């Protein structure tokens, strides 16, 4: 007997709609859930990391540009694929298309 439900709930993004607004994602890939249920999402094709707190209706940009602009500077990302947040709140990102690991300090 399984304890899993047969229904799912969307907690971020919108079905079949991509974009750069605070409630949309574009090719989300990796994610990380911290100890206080804040969800960090590698919003790959928007070149940013989105942060969604528990019970929030929209996200904020934790790293990269909210507009989705790609780049290789210290304030931009290009196709991030994975994200981890340490106990101090520092955000570590696999910045895939830039071939680097970025740390955005809290």
Q: In this structure, what token pair is assigned to residue 6?
A: 């047969």
Q: Lowest-pLDDT range, 10-14, 29-33, 94-98?
A: 10-14
Q: In this structure, what token pair is assigned to residue 16?
A: 């079949």
Specify whether the CB–CB gap between 25 and 41 falls below 8 A: yes
pLDDT per residue over 24-70, tens digit each? 899 999 999 999 999 999 999 999 999 999 888 789 999 999 999 99
Q: How many residues does the chain have?
A: 106
For residues 86 and 14, what is the distance between their CA atoms, to the nearest angstrom?
A: 28
**pLDDT over 70 for what percent of the chain?**
97
DSSP secondary structure code for residue 17 in this structure = B
- Please give the model's pTM, rounded to 2 decimal places: 0.89
């Amino acid at each position: 007997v399984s304890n899993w439900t047969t229904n799912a709930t969307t907690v971020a993004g919108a079905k079949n709609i991509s974009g750069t607004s605070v409630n949309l994602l574009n090719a989300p890939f990796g994610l990380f859930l911290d100890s206080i249920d804040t969800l960090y999402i590698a919003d790959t094709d928007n070149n940013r990391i989105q942060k969604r707190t528990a019970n929030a209706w929209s996200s904020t940009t934790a790293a990269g540009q909210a507009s989705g602009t790609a780049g290789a500077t210290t304030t931009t990302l290009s196709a991030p694929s994975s994200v981890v947040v340490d106990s101090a709140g520092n955000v570590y990102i696999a910045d895939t298309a830039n071939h680097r690991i970025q740390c955005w300090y809290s």
